[in-house]
Every structure is written in C-alpha cells, then in structure tokens.
Amino acid sequence: MAPTTDETKTFAPFRPAAAILRQQLADPDSLLVCPGVFDGFTARIALDAGFDTLYMTGAGTAASVLGQPDLAIVSLPEMAGNAGMIAALDRNVPVIADADTGFGSSLAVARAVKLYSQLNVAAMHIEDQAFIKRCGHLRNKALVSLDEYLVRIRAADRARKECGRDIVIIARTDSLQSLGLDGAIRRLKAAHSAGADVAFLEGLLTKEQCQEAVQALAPIPCLLNIVGGGVTPALDAAEAKAMGFKILLWPILSLTYTYVSVKKAMRELKEKGWSEPLPGGEGGIKDIFEVCGIEEAAAFDREVGGSTLDGGFF
C-alpha cells in the first residue's frame, strides 16, 4: 500500500488549546464540566467518553507519579510534564492544570507559566496558600499575604505576555476558612485586577455560599470544585450552570474510582488467589488497547507505508 502523502491528505492547522478554552468560556450558554484525570490512561478514558475539556489534578499527580499526598511534594517539571503529556493526547481538548502555589517566587511562577504554555496546557490555577500547601479540603491551611499572592498573579500575567501564549490564568483562593466569604471574594477581585481570567473560590460550604460567591464576583467567570468527601456540596451540572458557574471540576473522580475498583480487585486476588472477571468481559486487554488508541496508531502506520501492525493485533 502506497503511503498517503501531505499532498493527498489535508490537516487542520494547529490551534492553541488556550484559544479553544477561551472560545468555550465566551459561550454564554456553556458550562465546562471537567473530569479530573491524573495520567494518560485516565485521560484516554475521559476522551473516549466525549469530554471536551479535561482537568489534571495535582493531588492525582502526586498520588500517581510519586505515591505521595498532596502536600507540595510534586516539583514543577513533574507537574508540567504530566499536564503536557495529557494535553498532547488530543490537541483539540483543552487541559486545565493545577499549578499549586506557582512553585516559589515570582521567577518560579514565570517559569511555570512559560513551561505550561510551551506544552500547550490551556489553563493553570495558582493559589494563595503558603508554599508548603495542603489539599484545599483539609483544615489549617496557611495563607500568604494578599500582596504576595498578587505578586504571583502579576508574574503569571507578565510571563504569558512575554512568551506570546495566551494561557488562561485561574486565581484560586483557599482563604474562606480564615477570612470568611467577604475576605475571599476581595482576594479574588484583586487577583482579577492583577491579571487573572477566572476566579476559583475553594472549599465553599453550602449551596447558598456558592450562589452568593458567583453573584458577588460577576462578571468574572467562576470555577466550582466538587471533591468527593470534601466540604463543598455536590452540585450537578444543571445546578452549577443555573447559579452562573462557567467551569465545574470533579478533580478526584478518576482517583476515587481507581481506589475503589483496584482495592477490591487486589483484595480479591490476595484472598482468593484469582480475580473474578467483570460482567461481559469488560476491561480486558482489547478494551484497554483500544481506548489507548491502537486503531489510530495502526492507521497512522499504514498511511506512512509502515508494516509494524500488519496482520492485526487481536
């Protein structure tokens, strides 16, 4: 079979993921429902389900890459590398990624923004916790001053302008516990004035607080974070959209189901010496390879004249 050449097959021009995300956010009727993914496999499953925006969780990255809790242990190269790998799986599906506190000083924040941008990550959120941070749904979080927080946001805004990439900057505040709703809203408004595009008030406690926050921050686009077992009520997409949120994250969805399913299977294998097949044989090697793109890989190989996957593979 003769290989397909560029003269006989056209390709869509590259479009930065940030531009796609900005278009999604500009749609007045849209709510971006983003499942949390933590590696290439969970990202592939989310893409196969048809999601048009993904979220790379920092907690999931810490757990999957290092086997550690979400306590500022993951370095910038590890976090950005994971985000970039996920973003590369489908360039038309924007990835929003955790960037913790920005990984240090204003110079570290700038480096993070440029690295995430180069990897075609669509958006990153930067928070106002002290450098040794905690998951947003844990207690006793330490904050930096408002001035230090705004240095991070201004550094992010300046860095994206310098690198010519319009990555979306999401300002996250974890100040609700210590400063109250009014204080948290003041921080987010100041961050927006400093260059942030989206407001992320972490750890909202009630539906009433959710509604009040969106109204107080309008017209700034707002993000709602639903963490299983966390403090924020589990609003569904219809409720979040009705309140006026633009982005809805379920950050540990993949982590939760991985934990529950794998734990059950491991216990079964340990106790019984075998693992019971799932109904219908779901989850076999064929399913796994297919969701990871083996058909697309075979098509690519054929089109360039290769024979790596000739003869089939199942």
User: Which sequence positions are flagged as catalytic?
Assistant: 55, 70, 98, 100, 125, 127, 135, 172, 202, 225
Q: How far apart are CA 288 and CA 286, in angstroms?
A: 5
Return contacts of 44-52, CB within 8 angstroms, 24+ apart: 44/89, 44/291, 44/292, 44/293, 45/254, 45/291, 46/254, 47/89, 47/90, 47/93, 48/291, 51/93, 52/24, 52/93, 52/94
Q: Give helix 106-118 / helix 76-87 axis angle, nearest 10°.
A: 20
Contact indicator for 144, 109 with CB cutoff of 8 Å = no
* DSSP symbol at 129: B
For residue 59, count CB atoms less than 10 angstroms from its CB and return exposed for 0-12, middle for 13-18, buried for 19 or more.
buried
For CA atoms 108, 170, 94, 166, the dihedral sign is negative
Give the residue carrying structure tokens 């990255």.
61
Residues sharing a CB contact under 8 Å with residue 144, sequence separation 6 or more, in sequence order: 101, 128, 129, 130
Q: How far apart are CA 276 and CA 274, in angstroms?
A: 7
What is the H or E stretch that residue 48 is in?
Answer: helix 40-49
Query: What phi-psi label fits residue 102: left (phi over 0), alpha (psi between -120 and 50 degrees) or beta?
Result: left
Q: What are the helix (H) ranges across 88-236?
A: 106-118, 146-163, 176-193, 207-217
- Of 51, 126, 129, 133, nearest to 86 by C-alpha is 51
